[in-house]
Structure 1
Amino acid sequence: MTFHWKTALAVASAALGLFACGGGGMSGTGASASGAMHLSLTDAPACGYDNVYLTVERIRVNKSDTAVDGDNTWSEVVLNPAKRIDLLTLTNGVLSELGQTTLPTGKYTQMRLVLAPNTGPGANPLANSIKPTGGTEVALSTPSAQQSGLKLNVNMDIAADQVADFAIDFDACKSIVKRGNSGQYNLKPVVTVIPVVSSAGMKVQGYVQGAVALPTTTVSLQLNGVPVKATVPDLNGRFVLYPVPVGNYALVVTAPGHVTGVVTDVPVTATAITTVNTLGTPITPPLATQRAITGTLDPSTATVRALQTLTGGPTVEVAWGLVEVPTVLPAPASFSLSLPIEAPVVAPYVALPASLNFAADSSASVSGKYTLEATSGTSIQPVPINANAIVSPVAFTFP
């Protein structure tokens, strides 16, 4: 199985107080100077699932990005017993503790997340499984994770006598692949490792209007068209994005049947929480007409998304193609997504505003205009489309 990774590679060592944790252990080579690594797990929204369960056995790190499973240079956090987590409970800033271990100082460039195996079709509960909305729980195929672990390329600095704190951020929606009509699902992880350099900031909060306070709504912070952190609003419309690396972002709200809402230049600092708006002034994207976009991806491990560039910038991701891998390989995968025809509404960020000033970006070069971007490995294929008219199926083929 081929894995597609998005990783956030900025890491800072912070003199944080030691966190208590259970089950942490350390193996590998020793060193006279040491620091510590603390880990937690969080999640972005899932689409079409009520539960996504993963059971974590251990997290391994190495200073070499080419180290293999049997090398004696690994250090690890061992969870004893292994921890079964429903990723969909880890939205709106919720973190699940994974543990902490002492490490020799230095730069670590490889992390592996090792999951427990599903012991058989009758196992109860299944170690790794999903429950599609309206369906029954089924096993999630994770062959690589049960052996050498899910590999993440990272850039972690461990300093002497300090704790480096990291959140492993799964994107459950993008990480689950349906295998045709077989009723089976594969784990194809999209994961970000985010440094947590402060408990006082790195957080953005606000509200969406009640009509879009639904599990199908996504609120994300994006940089150059790449979501850095995403969540779903709660039943009151409140959203919390945490942890988020320090920087300036576009806050993007997407909800089926509504136009895309964008707040530009949202600042994130390490010292304070960023409040976009209040319950009395919620983000309210207007209704929209949706256009269905379909196509194929060859190889089936490729991914596809829809980007839209606002007048004067930025570019934002509006949708991710839901990919269905054929039951029998090799064969192209199919994808589908739904895009609003009407123009997105945009407002500049203002600190503690009485209300956000949204206006439609109705430029002829924006309304209904998107770029489909397919990715396979390091290769990217962009295809411009105009959703104001019916779009023929788009076929992406990579050498």
Structure 2
Amino acid sequence: MFGLRALASCTVAAALAACGGGGGGGTSTAGSGALSVALTDAPGCGYDHVYVTVDRVRVHQDGSAADSDAGWREIVLAAPRRLDLLDLTNGVFEELGQTQLPAGRYNQVRLVLLDNGSAAPQANAVQPTGGALVPLATPSAQQSGLKLKATFDVSTNQTTDLVLDFDACRSVVRAGNSGNYNLKPVLTVTPRVATGILGYVSTTLTIAGTTVTAQQDGTVVRSTVPDATGRFVLGSLPAGNYDVVIGSEGRSTTVVSSVPVTATTTVVNGTATAILPPTSAMRQVTGTVSVPAGTATALVTDATVRASQALAGGPTVEVARVPVDATAATYVLRVPAAAPVKAPYAATGTLAFAADTAAAGKYRVQAAAPGRTAVDQAADVTTTDGVVDLTFAP
């Protein structure tokens, strides 16, 4: 994901010298500040590599400004940068650069990627786990950049530092059985701050199949994969309380609830108390997402489907999420059948987990798509796989 960091005590001149930056920087002038942008990523489920090539970042004060309108400001990379998004997890950021901007409020951010050409390697490509590297088709609107919802302020003689969070898992979509993959970018823009959550999971887990998320009210705010030592970092989290959710293949969902983030990074536990979720059979929830179209139905190929689970006494957490197939509008969610386990955050780092047997195998499966009201159904996979077809209102 990309992020912005607000450096209240760092002047523009000092920022350019000491806080990093790239194309577009310069000395401070009256009524101006600086914008610095970095990129990070959530885990890329089912992929060994997800490459994108970044050309520039554009910003505008008008949230509805068109590509040809005046007033755009840009961070232009010295040369297009081909990045493997899967290298940008666990607190790793790729600095894209910095530029001077007139002070004021900005309401639009666009990320511009290079299109694929005939040259190798391809600018944008994906390698499914165990498969070959294949081109990643980018949106038709790529010439004008990927439009991101964001509002941020640039103050005189200060640097606004943003993070663009690129969710590779949700952004790469399989196109039926064609062997092709489409890029449907899911990005968020947040301030980059020096606070977050740090902890450890057991190295006996299948690390490549383990995801750690920070959630609020069942919504994922940040996600990562642990490193080889089991260490995970959920970086750049604004102050507040978060539920840390650990999902791992063949293991029960594990929740550390109400982890506080204040002025420093919160440490959940250490290596001596590394978290090892209980074993669990895994189930599949499959289905198709559609909408009535007269006497027939139409497939909704831009939907995302997620499974959430409500624990006794709270919280409700997201357990799995996938985009539907770009051709068939089908989905497959893998979820644990066994009971989730939960422990309240303890400042001592001693976590007392207890199983929530009433929640075992019980999920809500929800489909969401742009311009449509989300729909959901219950799914019980305690003893067998489930089929949940989801239909939007016409």
If the length of structure 2 is used for normalisation, what is the TM-score? 0.91
Describe the superposition over 1:73-101 as per-residue Cα deviations: whole angstroms up to 9, x where unpaired. Answer: 11110002011111000111000010011
Which residue of the partner structure matches residue 275 of structure 1?
267
The 5-angstrom pairing of residues 200-349 of structure 1 reads: 202-269=195-262, 271-298=263-290, 299-321=300-322, 323-326=324-327, 332-349=328-345
* SS of 1:280 mapped into structure 2: helix
SS at match of 1:244: coil
Matching of residue 113 in structure 1 with residue 108 in structure 2? no
Matched, 1:183 2:184: no
Structure 1 contact 322–337 (Cα < 8 Å) conserved = no
Q: Secondary structure at the match of 1:64?
A: coil
Partner of 1:88: 86
- Tell me how large the CA RMSD over aligned residues is: 2.1
Residues 304 and 7 (structure 1), Cα distance of their counterparts in 2 relative to 1, 3 Å cut: farther
Partner of 1:68: helix, strand, or coil? coil
Identity within the alignment, %? 49
Q: 1:57 aligns with which of 52, 55, 62?
A: 55
User: Does residue 394 of structure 1 match 2:384?
Assistant: no
Matches within 5 A, 1:14-163: 14-16=8-10, 17-18=14-15, 19-24=19-24, 33-120=31-118, 123-144=119-140, 146-163=142-159
The answer (yes or no) to whether the contact 2:24–2:99 under 8 Å persists in 1 is yes
Separation in 1, partners of 2:386, 2:283 = 11
Separation in 1, partners of 2:106, 2:269: 39
C-alpha separation in 1, matches of 2:142 and 2:189: 20
Q: Report how far residue 244 of structure 1 moved.
A: 1.4
CA–CA distance in structure 2, aligned partners of residues 322 and 337 of structure 1 = 10
The CA distance in 2 between the partners of 1:339 and 1:213, in whole Å, is 16
What residue is the counterpart of 2:295 in the other structure? Answer: none
Comparing 170-179 with 381-390, greater Cα deviation is found at 381-390
* Other structure's SS at 1:325 match: coil
Match of 2:346 among 347, 350, 367: 350
CA shift digits 1:312-367 (9 cap, x unpaired): 111100011353222xxxxx4100011111111100111132x311110123xx22
Aligned-partner SS, 1:266: strand
Change (3 A) 1:348 1:392: closer
1:147 alignment partner, SS class: helix
Deviation at 1:391, TM superposition (A): 5.0
Which consecutive residues of structure 1, in runs of 5 or more, have no partner in the other structure? 1-5, 327-331
**Contact 1:12 1:157 (8 Å CA) reproduced:** no
Measured in 2, the distance between the counterparts of 1:346 and 1:55 equals: 40
Q: Do the aligned residues in 2 keep the contact of 1:207 with 1:282 (CA within 8 Å)?
A: yes
- Residues 87 and 172 in structure 1, CA contact (< 8 A), matched pair in contact too: yes
Closer, same or farther in 2 for the Cα pair 1:391/1:136, shift >3 Å? closer
CA shift digits 1:137-176 (9 cap, x unpaired): 1111113463010000101111111101111111111110
Question: Is residue 5–residue 36 contact of structure 2 (8 Å, CA) maintained in 1?
Answer: no
CA contact (8 A) 2:6 2:159 kept: no
More helix by percentage: 2
SS at match of 1:156: strand
Deviations 1:209-266 (A, max 9, x none): 1122511110000011111000001111111111112210000000111000000011
Q: TM-score, normalised by structure 1?
A: 0.90
Cα deviation for residue 12 of structure 1 reads 5.4
**Count of residue correspondences:** 376
Contact map agreement 2:149 2:189 (CA 8 A) in 1: no
SS in 1 for 2:209: coil
Could you tell me which of 351, 360, 366 is aligned with 2:355? Answer: 360
* Cα distance between partner residues in 2 of 1:104 and 1:290: 53
Q: Which moved more, 1:254-263 or 1:182-191?
A: 182-191
SS of residue paired to 2:214? strand
Q: 1:392 to 1:92 in 2, by over 3 A?
A: closer
In the aligned structure 2, how far is the partner of 1:105 from the partner of 1:213?
A: 48
Question: What is the distance in 2 between the residues matched to 1:25 and 1:149?
Answer: 21
Decide whether the 8 Å contact of 2:284 with 2:386 is kept in 1.
no
Alpha-carbon distance in 1 for matches of 2:223, 2:129: 20
Asked if structure 1 preserves the Cα contact closer than 8 Å seen for 2:2 and 2:164, the reply is: no
1:250-284 Cα offsets, whole Å, 9 max, x none, are 00000111000000011112x21111000110111
Contact 2:342–2:356 under 8 Å retained in 1: yes
1:164 equivalent to 2:157? Answer: no
Equivalent position amino acid for 2:225 in 1: V
